[in-house]
Amino acid sequence: MTPRFASPSRRWPRSFGTAPPNRHEDERVSGRVGGTGGAGLPGVSGISGVQAHLAWNSPGLMNTIRRAQARDRPLLLANPVMAGLPGVAGWLRELGFSARGGAEGPGDPRPGEPRVAPVGAPLFSGLPGGFHLLLLTSGTTGQPRLVALDRTSVTWNASTVATHLDLPGDGSLHVALHVPLFHAFGLVLSFLMVEGLGGQATAFRRFEPSAFLKFLEGSVRSAPDRHLLLPFVPAMLRSLPQPADLDPATRSALGRVRGTSIVGGDRVTRTELESLRELLPGVRHTIGYGLTEAGPALAHTAGEMPGADGAVGTALPGVELREGEEGAWEFRSPGQAVAIRERGDAGWLPVRGRFLSTGDLLEVMPGRGPGLRFVGRRSWCFKKGGETVSPVLVEEALEEAWRARFGRPLPCAFVVGPSAGESLVLTLEHARDRELEAAIRAASGELPSFLRPDRIAWVGALPRNALGKVDRGAICGEGPADYPKER
C-alpha cells in the first residue's frame, strides 16, 4: 500500500513535497513575526514572516495549518503553558515574543485570543523559505529549542509510518486528535498523516476519558466502516477505565471499534498496552519511538505484544540508529529536521543528513523479541555505589519485585532519583502511609544494594508536562541535593 500523498484534494494539496503557488491573501492570524531575511542556510533565501500560535487543539488551528501549507508559509506552534513557565517566558521574549491577551488560567489563552504578539524577529533571519513547521519544544527532557520541519520531513515521516502500519488511503481514516498539535506526534503522525491519506480529524482540546469513549461509541454507530487512528501517550492510557467498570452496552460498542492505535511520547509498559488491548480488542495496538528533531519517527512496532517494558520495535526503513558516546544513541533519518536553534545560538544550525543525539539510552533485545527497548534519558542517570544507574531501570526492578511479592502493581505512580551522598530516593504520588512504606521496603529488600531506595518521600501530585510525562527536572529542583521536594 502506498499512501496517496500526491493526490489532489478539494481542501488542500496532499503533496507535501512541492510548494503550491503563494497566494498572499490577507488573513487574521494568532500572531505574526516579521523576519529580516539575510544570509542563512546554503541555497535558500530568508522569510518575510512567521505565524506563531500558542494554542491547544481546535478546528481553527487545524485550518491554520492547512492554510500555511497551501500558501507556502512557515508556522510556529508551541505549548500555551510555556509562556508562563519560569525562565521560558524570558526566553520567548528573547526569541521575539511578548505575552498578552486574556487567559482562563496560567498560560491558558481563551479560544481565538492570541497569546503572543510580534516585537521583532532577528531569530528568524536565515531560516529556509517556504512552508516550515517550527516547533518550540518544552525543554522538560532537554534544552529548549526550535526545530524546523520542512515538506521533506512531513512527507517522509507521515508516509513511512502510514506504509509501515498499512493504513488505508481510501479516505476512510478518522483520527481522534487529542495529542497536541504543538507536538510532532500529534501534528505529523496524526493530523497531517490523515490529511495526506485522506480522511477526517476530530480535535479534542484536552484528553478526557469520558469524552473519548463517547466519541468511540458515536463512531461505531454513525460510521462503522471508518478506520480510527488513535494516538496516545502513556499518561492517557492510565486514565482510561477498566472494562469491568463499564456498562455492558459501552463494552459491546468498544468491542466493535476497528482501527490502529499509536502509543508514543514516553516509555510504554506491557501492562499499559495489555489494558488498552482489553478495552479495545478490535484495534491493532502499536508503539512508536522518536523525537521532534527526527520529525518525529525513528522506530515502530508492528502490532505484536512487546517483549519487554519500554519496547519500541525496529528502526523504520532508512533510519540509522547507533550507540554514541557515553551510551546515548544517535540517529540519522531521511525525514529529520532541516535546522534547529537553541538558546544563545547565533543562528540556525543545518542538521539534515547529520547524525544527531537522541539523548536516550536504548538497548537491543536479543532473545526477547526483535527490536529496541527504551531505557531512559541519559541526563536522568546518576552514580550509586560506583555504578551508573538509570532511574527507569530502578523503577522497573522495583515494580517487578513488588509484583513478585504481592501479585499486583504498585498502587500509585512513583519516580526514583538521586539525593545527596549517592543515596537513592523513591517519591510516591500518595499520602504518607506507613503500611505501604513497610511493604515497599520489604519488596525492595530483594534488590541489589545499588537499586535499593535509601529514602521514601510522599507528594500529593508528581509534576507533569502537557503530554503527561513526569517532569523529573521539576522534582529534582536545582540539583541532586534538592531531590525530592515533598509537597
β-pairing verdict for 372-377 and 199-203: unpaired
Q: Judge whether residue 423 has pLDDT over 50.
A: yes
Give the containing element (helix H, strand E) for 310: none
| CATH code, 32-364 | 3.40.50.12780
Please give the average per-residue pLDDT across 127-149, as a whole number.
75
Q: Which CATH number fits domain 381-482: 3.30.300.30, 3.30.365.10, 3.20.20.10, 3.20.20.70?
A: 3.30.300.30
Choice among 95-109, 149-163, 288-302 with the minimum mean pLDDT: 95-109
Task: Name the pLDDT band for 476 (thresholds 50, 70, 90).
Answer: low
Question: What's residue 93's pLDDT?
Answer: 64
* Strands of 139-197, DSSP E: 145-149, 173-177
Residue 288 has a pLDDT of: 95
Q: Which of 118-122, 349-353, 413-417, 465-469 has the lowest mean pLDDT?
A: 118-122
| pLDDT recorded at residue 98 | 53
pLDDT tens profile 243-294: 989 999 999 999 999 999 999 988 898 888 999 999 999 999 999 999 999 9
Q: What is the rounded average pLDDT of the residues 23-27?
A: 27
Using the predicted structure, report yes or no on whether residue 410 has a pLDDT greater than 80: yes
Cα 468–chain centre separation: 9
Q: What is the pLDDT of residue 174?
A: 96
As a whole number of angstroms, the distance between CA 473 and CA 332 comes to 27
Q: Is the pLDDT of residue 57 over 80?
A: yes
Is it the case that residue 88 has pLDDT exceeding 70?
Answer: no
Ranges of beta strands (E only) in 106-241 are 108-109, 116-118, 133-136, 145-149, 173-177, 199-203, 227-232
Question: So what's the pLDDT on residue 274?
Answer: 92
Choose between 85 and 62: higher pLDDT: 62
Q: Is the model's pLDDT at 466 over the cut of 90?
A: no
Query: What digits encode the pLDDT tens for the residues 224-239?
Result: 999 999 999 988 998 8
Q: Which residue has the higher pLDDT, 478 or 351?
A: 351
Cell numbers found for residue 479: 540539583
**Domain definitions of the chain by residue range:** 32-364, 381-482
* pLDDT number for residue 360: 86
Residue 31's pLDDT is what? 31
Better pLDDT: 81 or 417: 417
CB 115 within 8 A of CB 218: no
With a pLDDT cut of 90, the percent of the chain lying above it is: 38
Q: Which residue has the cell 536522568?
A: 380
